Amino acid sequence: MELNSMSQFTPAWLAGYLARMSGTDRASRTSLTTQGVAEREAELHEKIFDECRRRGWIALHGSMAERTCRTLGEPDFVILADGGRVLFVECKSRSGKLSPAQTALKHHAEKLGHTVHVVRSMEEFLKLL
């Protein structure tokens, strides 16, 4: 069944999005992580969410626990920033590597003129801005 892409933007969806961006749903996002690398990566996700919220940007992000609901290789964030900018951001730990699907998507996006940024720290994310 194909859905009209606009049909997903209901008042309930908007209320949920605003709750997530305001930080009131922070516990449900961070509780899905495990110890170690995933926890550190989740902390980076939270910092990026906080920065996007501070700037009034829209950060589209899928759950780390529900990978089946995402496109294979899809970056962690699609950020709608000011000035019509769109950022594709993949978060990795210091030693984390892109999966084959992520590498393939990154290269295909580059062929289309887009950049998928791989960041390993908040400092690297802020340099993109």
| Chain segment 95-128, per-residue pLDDT in tens | 899 999 999 999 999 999 999 999 999 999 999 9
Strand pairing of 86-91 and 58-61? Answer: unpaired
- Is position 75 within any domain? yes
Is there a domain that residue 3 lies in?
A: no
- Looking at residue 94, its pLDDT comes to 87
Residue 49 · residue 69 · CB < 8 Å: no
In-domain check, residue 65: yes
Q: Is residue 4 domain-resident?
A: no
Residue 13 lies in a domain: yes
E strand or H helix at 61:
strand 58-61
35 CA to centre of own chain: 20
Reported as a pLDDT band with limits 50, 70 and 90, residue 34 is very low
pLDDT tens, 66-96? 655 778 899 999 999 999 999 999 999 988 9
Q: For the chain, how many structural domains are there in total?
A: 1
* 114 part of a folded domain: yes
Boundaries of domain holding 16:
9-128
Q: Count Cβ atoms below 10 Å from residue 46 Cβ, excluding itself.
A: 16
- Categorize the per-residue pLDDT at 3 as very low, low, confident or very high, splitting at 50, 70 and 90: very low
Q: In whole angstroms, how far apart are CA 35 and each of 6, 29, 88, 121?
A: 37, 14, 26, 18
Residue 1 lies in a domain: no
CB–CB of 48/125 below 8 Å? yes
- Check the CA dihedral 15-16-18-24 and report its sign: positive
Q: What is the pTM of this model?
A: 0.69
CATH of the domain at 30: 3.40.1350.10
**What is the pLDDT averaged over residues 26-52?**
69
61 forms bridges with which residues in the sheet? 77
Query: Is residue 93 in some structural domain?
Result: yes
